[in-house]
Chains A and B, each alone.
Chain A
């Protein structure tokens, strides 16, 4: 049968196109192509004959005909399962079976038997066609739609055909009246469809599938079976028919827990029990003859309603299970998505307590959420302290707290500790998940490892910085060569002239005329040299920067941040000890920044050769008296031999230095009304100290205060 179906599917398409121009020849060749295997057809015939015999067994009330007709269910299920093109074969097989059954049991005249079969075949064809049209193949009775289609169309509508044809035949041949035969016929066929069609469908669909039940389920199935048998014995043996409905709980139990398979097994059992009790005469069916007819209808209704209820519940249960499975599957694929994304994912409660780390995040940090819990401390602090770089942890804490308070998204680049202790740059972003437009239910965050990019950017920045410095140095060299030449020319002339002048005056007699001319030229060339110097100064004289009220500490921190790369590259550490609430100073921000850049660079370079101790540069700031701010830059180098000469122009201890740095620094500090000097430390290193007068007597306010360029506070 399965092979038939496959074959049917394979040729369905060409047949579909043929159908639009049907000719008898093509129709017949299509039917021939879809002939079923003989074995299957034979099995069908045997099952049909046996089903007829089973019906005959139950038909023990004289003059009422068949009470349950299982062959209708068998026929319908078969036609639903096989390809439509092969239906003629099965209809033919059904005819053979019907006639055999008639010969064995019913012994109706041949025309009657054939007419009855026409009704049965029409019933099965109409039912299968309707079910087929309503539901998509394969029909597994797993959805409510399929069950309702089978019940309403297969068991409700189709038997109308069979009942009408059959009753008319019986009436025509004078065997039974139409009105008496019709209801019993209809209910008998409907019950047959309701009980046997699902059994057939399940049996064929699971022909090769193995039933996998856990031991607990087997026990459950056993208990259910015992209960069912007990309930069936009670209900069918009693004389009070409504009692039969105690079969319902075990039936529904089977439907809920074992779904369609459970239902078909139970229904089959129920039908067999009914037969058994009917045969032994203890069934309600076998009571006094007057009530027998009515009770037969009741029994049929009972079986039909049981089957209908159980099938519906089974389909609902199946649908529910399917939905659960789908949901679980979707959840699993969502989790897989989260776990396989090349990012670290985490969630926190609305209050910020971490509740979930993705597997990749756990692998990165080396622990799971909750592993760092400390009695009395918040989990968030514990986690942040464990994974965020000490220099970043305050910022991360503050920004996340701000996000938690305002509900605004969080975004920050920071360093994060990997399980092996290495800090890597990551970009963290988090956003609040809200229930509708209302309260936050969760914070979801993602961390991306951007260390490689950051390193590359840093390398690029360092390279461009080096390039800029090299370019600067080169252009400075070029420029100084030009200046030197411009100054040298008149100087050379002056020197030569003065020597000539000397000679004119020292000959005997002195050549005063020539000496005078020469002296005039000397003063002319000297002026031209001075002019060169003036021009150079004019080039270097820049427009004065506006001065503003500034917090010296802030400038120091800014410079440290600007130079962070340079400092780190040299393996140096900078410790700042800045006195809070220093008075503000009116200063040229750019120039003073330049001073600090110079002092830090000098300090770092002074420690280049230091290997036996940490290279630490201390920057301290404090009040100096009432109205001045003092800054000290202290290195751990070898100190300086001639501290005062360090400020002379062109004094340098460096191989490639100009020797202008400290001189320029001092001139800037003095331009601000301050002083600058240098001394050696008590044990080692040099201390550069500068003081600048403060104008504002009140201390600078909180961080972030700003002033306009004219220096007046708001």
Chain B
């Protein structure tokens, strides 16, 4: 991964307003953003260049958990962030732990960016070892 090229973050959500705002936020923080309105459209593309995935949980057809499972098969090391408006859906997952991080809508932009930055840094460090 070249030091000049900005990290690529993919966002999957069925609500265009969320996609738009996250694209805006991530771009303002200097990331390159790929937006997808469904898990299927994300998986249809080449995901080998992606550095991080942010996905909504509650989506029609394939939900966030299923997408997460598929992605972990293809790229187990890829950091994934789950976002949802419904705490109850995420709480039991959270209790089970794992490296997946959760954000509840409406999330704090700064917190999301800093978590994203940390994850990428950790990944970079792992890659260098």
Chain A interface residues toward B at CB < 8 A: 481, 484-485, 488-501, 503-504, 507, 511, 514, 517-518, 521, 525, 528
Contacts and interface: CB of A to CB of B under 8 A. Distances in A.
Contacts of A499: 25, 28, 108-110, 113
Contact of B28 (A488, A503, A525): A503
Interface stretch (B12-20, B38-46, B116-124): B12-20
Contacts of B108: 495, 499
Contacts of A496: 18, 21-22, 24-25, 106-107, 109, 112
Given A481-B86, A500-B25, A493 B18 contact: yes
A525 B21 contact: yes
Contact of B85 (A492, A495, A501): A492
Given A503-B29, A525-B17, A528-B17, A495 B24 contact: no
Nearest to B19: A493
Nearest to A503: B28
B107 to A, nearest CB: 6
B27 interface: yes
Interface string B93-121: 00000000000011111101100000000
A500 B110 CA distance: 9
B17 A485 contact: no
B21 A521 contact: yes
A485 B15 CA distance: 11
Contacts of A490: 17
A489 B85 contact: yes
Contacts of A504: 28
Given A504-B28, A521-B24, A489 B109 contact: no
Interface centre among A484, A492, A499, A504 (most CB of B within 10 A): A492
Nearest to B110: A499
Contacts of A518: 24
Given A481-B86, A521-B24, A495 B106 contact: yes
Interface centre among A496, A499, A518 (most CB of B within 10 A): A496
Interface in B1-58: 15, 17-18, 20-22, 24-25, 27-29, 58
Contacts of A514: 24, 27-28
Nearest to A496: B21
B28 A485 contact: no
Nearest to A481: B86
Interface centre among A489, A498, A525, A528 (most CB of B within 10 A): A489
B29 A484 contact: no
A488 B105 CA distance: 6
A488 B106 contact: yes
A613 B129 CA distance: 73
18 contacts: A484-B85, A485-B85, A485-B86, A489-B18, A489-B105, A490-B17, A493-B15, A496-B18, A496-B21, A496-B106, A497-B20, A500-B21, A500-B27, A503-B28, A504-B28, A514-B27, A518-B24, A528-B17
Nearest to B58: A485
